[in-house]
Structure 1
């Protein structure tokens, strides 16, 4: 995997890619050095992004400026992920800018509402946040639920607000605000 770290209006963002597509993304909230170190842990090397990756970087920068961006056509490398996660992510990339769904709705689409917790686990394991828009998945009560990116649920709320979506406040203990 090759990686790059770049500035956006929300802060430092990181991408990792293979020949198959984007394999990792790191949301803003940490220093460039920390983002790079975290991406390098996965056996990566820093590289000059090819044209296709520069295109994805431009899309991320547009998103950070509040432009409605559709990442659904971005090639992804989901190698090594459980089949359930892949299926959940395939459904999730269809949820557009400014739209939301719930853990339960995704679970029903995957065959059984009792899979809601498994959907939550798949969202928490998402290694390509924003491009696989796990921030658009809410709890059934309209609250944000968890978010494993820097800043926790407050970052999720900020991303949704950027898209024009207002939801309830995060649960206590997840109030940090990273970007």
Structure 2
């Protein structure tokens, strides 16, 4: 992605106003809706304090369209969106890479990702990495559950309820007997 300047913008989705920030190396951050547009804007201003709010350049348009489509229920993996991973640790990069391969409507557990990383004991570290995910839903941390399919935490506004809402939008369904998701 060749972008001439840094900036951020808000855009409407089916679940509320999201934020997106871009720079010369790609998308630098995505923000799921906060309690309202003003709260989302304030969160973006804190995260990208030196970056102006501006109209996104045309190259950011497909990322916005993809995120909107996903949050509107279209099965999108958003793998085509180039992310600027500067400042993201190698461990977090590996976790995010694995999470990005989870198809819409499907889930994995923190332990599954830890095992793929080579050490099931890393499940808590995987959860912490996803809790700091600066790219949700492009890095679909909402598709990662706790052991046994339990919902686990979700750092976006609304917590686990937002996670379940996003999974429902994607077509993942809870098991009515246990409350677990497949």
Q: Is the 8 A contact 1:12 1:30 kept in 2?
A: no
Q: Is structure 2 residue 22 aligned with structure 1 residue 17?
A: yes
Pick aligned residue for 1:115 from 122, 134, 139: 122
Alignment of 1:61-76 (within 5 A): 61-76=68-83
Alpha-carbon offset, residue 30 of structure 1: 2.3
Q: Is structure 2 residue 5 aligned with structure 1 residue 36?
A: no
Alpha-carbon offset, residue 158 of structure 1: 0.5
Alpha-carbon offset, residue 169 of structure 1: 6.8
TM-score after normalising by structure 2? 0.89
Equivalent residue number for residue 164 of structure 1: 171
Equivalent residue number for residue 176 of structure 1: none
Q: Deviations over 1:25-75 (max 9, x none)?
A: 111242222211211122221121111211111112212221111201110
Pick aligned residue for 2:100 from 86, 93, 96: 93
Gaps of 5+ in 1: 171-179
Count of aligned residue pairs for this structure pair: 170
2 CA distance for matches of 1:109 and 1:64?
28
Q: Is the 8 A contact 1:147 1:153 kept in 2?
A: yes
Q: Is the 8 A contact 2:20 2:29 kept in 1?
A: yes
2 CA distance for matches of 1:13 and 1:131?
12
TM-score after normalising by structure 1? 0.90
1 CA distance for matches of 2:95 and 2:65?
26
Gaps of 5+ in 2: 1-5
